[in-house]
């Protein structure tokens, strides 16, 4: 089932078009990799999907109505990210940010425990977030997104700056979670190994147009010019 169809999507900044005529489909339960050079406007497209930015042209056609649509966002890990000495559980609970009840409902507590287990954080649930490793912290960010019970998860270069072990650990958690829940993922990544291993579809953005298709049709060699990854 398709949950989002983008057609004729274009975003213009001043005089300059970042891209035009972008078409893609987001299929339920699949992982869509959003790739393209830095500065091509991947983040603006994400913001449009999140509803924070208007498209200049085209439209995003959702099959889930606004009421039932929950899109959660996992940012890029940066070692200098602000972190207070909150314990991991409390840090993850920051995402319970709707409603006026100052404390957590029993169903929310249950959900929190469930997600902590799924993200392998139960053991360090009472440890301080600022003493956690990069991989653990990034999984805490993932947990923050997952406790909101999203139907769409956005990973915005979520594995960048993570070491080789931590990045696969994070993506395995996402994949396992997806296998047991109703979750569709959009990931922005420059990491060809990660894209090849975890993505189902791809959307390649370039200033001259876009390319959309199943991941096995992505010509990875096109993305490598010289010895550099251009994904």
Partner 1 sequence: MLNYPFMQNAFVAGTLIAIVSGFVGTFVVARRMSFLTHTLSEIGFAGASFALYMSWSPLVGMLLFSVGASMTVGEMGVKESRSESLISAVSAIAIGLGIAFLALSKKNATAATGILFGSIFSISRTDVVEVVVLAILVLLIGLAMFRPLRHFAFDYSTALFSLKNIRLIEVAFLALMATTVAVSAQVVGSLLIFILMILPASSAMRWGRTVWQIIGLAILFAVVGVWVALVLSYTLNLPVSFFIAIIEAGIYFVSLIGKK
Backbone angles phi, psi at 204, to 5 degrees: -100, 120
Tokens of 199: 């993505």
Count of residues near partner 1 by CB under 8 A: 31
Q: 38 or 52: whose CB is closer to partner 1?
A: 52
User: Is the CB of residue 9 less than 8 Å from the CB of residue 171?
Assistant: no
Residue 217 Cβ vs partner 1, minimum distance, rounded to whole Å: 31
Find the binder of partner 1 among 32, 41, 95, 137 (CB under 8 A).
95
Residue 81 Cβ vs partner 1, minimum distance, rounded to whole Å: 7
Residue 141 Cβ vs partner 1, minimum distance, rounded to whole Å: 7
Residue 75 Cβ vs partner 1, minimum distance, rounded to whole Å: 6
Tokens of 105: 């409902």
Cα separation, 210 vs 206, in Å, equals 6
Interface segment toward partner 1; rule CB under 8 A; list 8-16, 93-101, 186-194, 203-211? 93-101
Would you give the binding string for partner 1 spanning residues 103-142, x where CB under 8 A is met? -----------------------x-x------------x-
Find the binder of partner 1 among 1, 101, 165, 225 (CB under 8 A).
101
User: Is the CB of residue 187 less than 8 Å from the CB of residue 35?
Assistant: no
3-state secondary structure of 80: coil
User: Is the CB of residue 49 less than 8 Å from the CB of residue 72?
Assistant: no
CB atoms within 10 A of CB 123: 11
Would you give the binding string for partner 1 spanning residues 136-175, x where CB under 8 A is met? -----x--xx--x-----x---------------------
Beta-carbon contacts of residue 34 (< 8 Å; ≥ 6 apart) = 42, 45, 46, 186, 187, 188, 189, 202, 203, 205
Restricting to residues 31-90, name those near partner 1 by CB under 8 A.
Answer: 50-52, 72-73, 75, 81-82, 84-87, 89-90
Residue 133 Cβ vs partner 1, minimum distance, rounded to whole Å: 18
Beta-carbon contacts of residue 58 (< 8 Å; ≥ 6 apart) = 6, 7, 8, 9, 10, 21, 22
The residues binding partner 1 (CB under 8 A) are 50-52, 72-73, 75, 81-82, 84-87, 89-91, 94-102, 126, 128, 141, 144-145, 148, 154
């Amino acid at each position: 089932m398709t949950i989002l169809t983008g057609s004729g999507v274009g975003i213009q900044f001043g005089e300059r078009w970042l891209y035009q005529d972008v078409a893609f489909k987001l299929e339920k339960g699949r992982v869509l990799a959003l790739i393209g050079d830095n500065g091509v406007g991947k983040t603006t497209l994400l913001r449009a999907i999140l509803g924070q930015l208007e498209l200049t042209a085209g439209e995003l056609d959702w099959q889930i109505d606004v009421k039932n649509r929950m899109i959660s966002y996992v940012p890029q890990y940066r070692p200098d990210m602000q972190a207070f000495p909150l314990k991991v559980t409390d840090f993850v609970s920051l995402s319970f940010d709707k409603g006026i009840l100052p404390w957590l409902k029993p169903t929310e507590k249950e959900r929190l425990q469930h997600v902590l287990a799924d993200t392998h954080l139960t053991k360090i649930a009472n440890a301080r977030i600022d003493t956690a490793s990069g991989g653990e912290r990034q999984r805490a960010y993932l947990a923050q997104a997952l406790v909101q019970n999203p139907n769409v998860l956005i990973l915005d270069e979520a594995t960048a700056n993570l070491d080789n072990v931590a990045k696969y650990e994070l993506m395995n958690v996402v994949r396992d979670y997806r296998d047991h829940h109703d979750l569709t993922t959009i990931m922005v990544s420059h990491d060809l190994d990660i894209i090849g291993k975890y993505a189902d579809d791809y959307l390649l953005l370039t200033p001259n147009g876009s390319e959309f298709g199943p991941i096995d049709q992505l010509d990875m060699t096109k993305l490598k010019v010289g010895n550099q990854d251009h994904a």
